[in-house]
Amino acid sequence: MPNARKTMLLAVALIAVLLALPATAGASTRPRPPSAAAFERATRVALATGAFDRRPAPRSGGVDTGPAPVRGGLFPGKRLLTLYGAPQLTGTILGKLGPRAAARKAAKQARPYARIGDRRVIPGFDLIAVVANSTPGPDGKYRTRQPDELIRSYLRAARSIGGRLVLDIQPGRAKVSDEIDALEKWIDEPDVDVSIDPEWDVGPRGVPGRSAGRIKAKEINAVSRRLQRIVDAGDLPPKALVIHQFHDGSVRRRGDIVQRGDVDVTLNFDGIGSPAAKVAGYRTLSRRSLFNGFSIFYSLDTEVMSPRSVLGLEPEVDFLLFQ
């Protein structure tokens, strides 16, 4: 068998095995969730460094990266490119860079995608606003909410480059609806979106990092319905709702997910590995009835895929996450 064909078949076989594994099988590829106490200490240290701007965030606007804005929905006229993580989690890209440096990197990362592609590319952050913990914490929910001061600083940095802020929810044992309630004052902003990480949605008795997390289509539909109401009530522009997934069990009954008029429900493929394996996984888990995203891991992927390769994926990528 020719080497190239053999390599491809092995890659496809590997992704098929990975997709069949329970969600916890991929946990070792990401940082283990911190304890609630350790995360609280890291938050105090981060805020004490003075890296976070305490001034109010400016109005949305700033430097464009690509063609003129397209009227109507966020997708498919535009493409959103984000850097992922939290400043307390040093294994993430946002844990390695302060808000202003991260904004510069996001804008730089967006340029080749804007140059090669045919859409306006909006840079921004996928900030973990609700962080899963390995211990219960004061309320027993196995998650910690980021302080307003920190979220405000990342919103300010995103707006400095004409970008968007995606608030990522790792629910732990909490209900996603309760976390939406806690974040609503930020979601009311015209350039703030929401993402959910089912890997850390462990239900009422699970423990993040030890229990398999997942989310049901009806829960996603409830969140998108809520976001649509927020958009309607505030006469806001459309928002994205991104669901991270790295194997088939991340989202249950995905065929039942409803697309909303002003909430662009997006399935983001979060797999790690070789380009061939990632492409195969993306093809398996993407849905043409929804919008689709693709994650790139700077240090964990065996090879960082080029913008041209990513933009050649089918179905076309609407959301990009860099970690």
Q: What is the CATH number of the domain that holds 37?
A: 3.20.20
Task: Give me Rg for the CA atoms of the chain.
Answer: 19
| Cβ proximity of 127 and 168 under 8 Å | yes
Q: Does residue 119 have a pLDDT over 70?
A: yes
The CA-based angle 204-208-211, given to 5 degrees, is: 75
Q: Does residue 213 have a pLDDT over 60?
A: yes
Domain of 260, in residue numbers: 3-322
DSSP per residue, 191-256: TEEEEE-GGGB-TTT--TTTS---EEHHHHHHHHHHHHHHHHHHTPPPEEEEEEESSGGGEETGGG
Phi, psi values for residue 83, rounded to 5°? -100, 140
Tens of pLDDT, residue by residue over 105-117, are 999 999 999 999 9
- At how many degrees (to 10) do helices 148-160 and 99-116 cross? 40
The CA-based angle 231-234-237, given to 5 degrees, is: 50
Lowest-pLDDT range, 35-49, 59-73, 120-134?
Answer: 59-73
Q: Does residue 65 have a pLDDT over 50?
A: no
* Total domains present in the chain: 1
| Distance (Å, whole) CA 193 – CA 177 | 15
* pLDDT attached to residue 71: 37
Which residue in this structure is represented by tokens 């041209």?
Answer: 308
**pTM confidence score:** 0.86
